[in-house]
Amino acid sequence: MITALIDPGSDQNLFSASKIKHLDLPTTTLETLLAVLALDGTPLPAITQKTVPVTLRVS
pLDDT given for residue 9 in this prediction: 83
Instruction: Look at residue 3 in the predicted model and tell me its pLDDT.
Output: 76
pLDDT along the chain (59 residues), means of 10: 78 84 93 91 93 83
pLDDT at 58: 79
The reported pLDDT for the residue numbered 14 is 80
Give the pLDDT score at 33.
94
Q: Side-chain half-sphere of 35: how many Cα atoms within 13 Å?
A: 4
Burial annotation 7-40 (CB, 10 A radius, 16+ → b, else e): eeeeeeeebeeeebeeeeeeeeeeeeeeeeeeee
- The structural domains of the chain, with segments of one domain joined by +, span 17-51
Identify the pLDDT of residue 57.
79
